[in-house]
Amino acid sequence: MNTSDSSLPNQVIEATGLIKRYRELTAVNGITFSVRKGELFGFLGPNGAGKTTTMKMVQCVSPRSGGKLKIFGEDPEFSGRKIRKRIGVVPQETNLDPDLSVFDNLVMYARFFDIPKSDAEKRALSLLEFFELEAKMDTIIEKLSGGMKRRLLLARSLMNNPDLLILDEPTIGLDPTQIVEVRHLIRRLARNSTVLLSTHILSEVEAVCDRVIILMNGEIKADARLADLASTTDVVVVLEDGAPDVTARLQGLPGAGAVEQLPSADGRAYRVRPLAGSNGVDLRPAIYGLARDAGWPLKELRREVRTLEAVFNELATTALEGGQA
């Protein structure tokens, strides 16, 4: 893949206040994000969150309704064809030509990019070898397994040597073994390319992404590196029954962020989250010192690592309670 081009800007995708409406429905509601060169970037969210709609705008196949969008520094409204030549796409649906062989699917696809036939054939052979499909090059599509079809779609997306690879639910419909296989291929591709992955599968993001946006109802609810978003170490504080409410005192601790009261049948419990950017600081010594000095009846003090699933569920619950989902 041609990712060494010095003309490729550091920000491959820049979206500011991006909006997409379908009549009365606002599918994407003023989102702002950027994707840097070399990132493996994930869009995570439930069905209907706006992931695929956003991907289509980035692919230059669906015009935006508002906001700003630049791909490789160009506006899709005016430079769509130029941008599309630098993008490779793996769609949700398997849209391979059923009447053609594996090899011919790749060569025919290259025509959309004005690639000479001799060059296309060389690229097709190289990609079939990379994706371990050379033994199937003369096989028609209906004879392929689901995993082979997804591998062929990945191969097809690379025929134009794209600077940006867009994967929309790349493991949809695959069995567990095939999912592991495709995820491994994605990680290999990400060594040399900018990859944008859209999915509603938490484990998919955890397996392959460096950074993730969580979309819900067309809005961004979280945007962070995966390591920061999913590995924050909270502290759970449990005081004995009858203890006063100490929420404000906990919030006042240096390095402390949000403080949440937890349901507890045995005492008064809190979860204290480190302040964003505190690099996983352990708040237990400070909380212990505060409890000792204030005479709190401390019963338990423990660290608790938040998973991506916990983050996602918290955001989903908040959206539901706010009547947004």
pLDDT > 90? residue 181:
no
- Same domain for 114 and 259, yes or no, is no
Token output for 135:
């033994």
pLDDT > 90? residue 7:
no
Amino acid at 197: L
pLDDT > 70? residue 324:
no
CA-nearest of 76, 64, 80, 60 to 27 is 64
Percent of the chain scoring above 70 in pLDDT: 92
Amino acid at 310: A
> Residue 322 domain-assigned?
no
CA-nearest of 117, 105, 108, 197 to 144 is 105
- Same domain for 148 and 273, yes or no, is no
Query: Lowest mean pLDDT: which of 18-32, 120-134, 210-224, 301-315?
Result: 301-315
pLDDT of residue 19: 97
Query: Lowest mean pLDDT: which of 9-23, 123-137, 261-275?
Result: 261-275
- Same domain for 168 and 259, yes or no, is no
pLDDT of residue 231: 60
pLDDT of residue 2: 45
> Residue 316 domain-assigned?
no
- Same domain for 49 and 183, yes or no, is yes
pLDDT > 60? residue 323:
no
In DSSP notation, 88-117 reads EEE-SS----TTSBHHHHHHHHGGGGT--H
**Overall residue count recorded for the chain in this entry:** 325
> Residue 312 domain-assigned?
no
The C-alpha atoms of residue 56 and residue 60 are separated, in whole angstroms, by 6
Give the number of other CB atoms < 10 A from CB of residue 112: 11
Q: How sure is the predictor about 6, in pLDDT bands with cuts at 50, 70 and 90?
A: very low
The C-alpha atoms of residue 272 and residue 238 are separated, in whole angstroms, by 11
Three-state DSSP class for residue 63: coil
Query: Lowest mean pLDDT: which of 89-103, 117-131, 228-242?
Result: 228-242
List % helix, strand, coil for the chain (3-state, nearest 5). 35, 30, 35
Here the CATH number for the domain that contains residue 256 is: 3.30.70.2070
In DSSP notation, 197-235 reads EEES-HHHHHHH-SEEEEEETTEEEEEEEHHHHH--EEE
pLDDT > 50? residue 315:
yes
Average pLDDT, the chain: 87
pLDDT > 80? residue 120:
yes
- Predicted TM-score (pTM) of this structure: 0.76
The C-alpha atoms of residue 98 and residue 79 are separated, in whole angstroms, by 32
Q: How many domains does the chain have?
A: 2
CA-nearest of 247, 241, 250 to 274 is 250
- Same domain for 222 and 268, yes or no, is no
Three-state DSSP class for residue 269: strand
Task: Considering only residues 187 and 310, tell me which one the structure prediction assigns the higher pLDDT.
Answer: 187
In the sheet that 233-239 helps form, which strands lie side by side, from edge to edge?
Answer: 256-262, 268-274, 233-239, 298-305
The pLDDT tens digits of the residues spanning 300-309 come to 999 887 778 7
Domain extent for 36: 11-228
* Phi, psi (deg, nearest 5) at residue 50: 110, 5
Three-state DSSP class for residue 117: helix
The pLDDT tens digits of the residues spanning 212-221 come to 999 999 999 8
Three-state DSSP class for residue 279: coil
pLDDT > 80? residue 3:
no
Over residues 288-317, mean pLDDT: 84
Over residues 270-281, mean pLDDT: 75
CA-nearest of 103, 207, 99 to 152 is 103
pLDDT of residue 207: 85
- Same domain for 199 and 216, yes or no, is yes
> Residue 317 domain-assigned?
no
pLDDT of residue 186: 87
- Same domain for 213 and 99, yes or no, is yes
Here the CATH number for the domain that contains residue 108 is: 3.40.50.300
Over residues 7-20, mean pLDDT: 85
pLDDT > 70? residue 299:
yes
The DSSP bridge partners found for residue 140 are 101
The 8-class DSSP code of residue 317 comes to H
pLDDT of residue 308: 80
- Same domain for 181 and 291, yes or no, is no
pLDDT of residue 277: 58
> CA of 255: how far to CAs of 86, 245, 274, 278, 284, in Å?
44, 20, 6, 7, 11
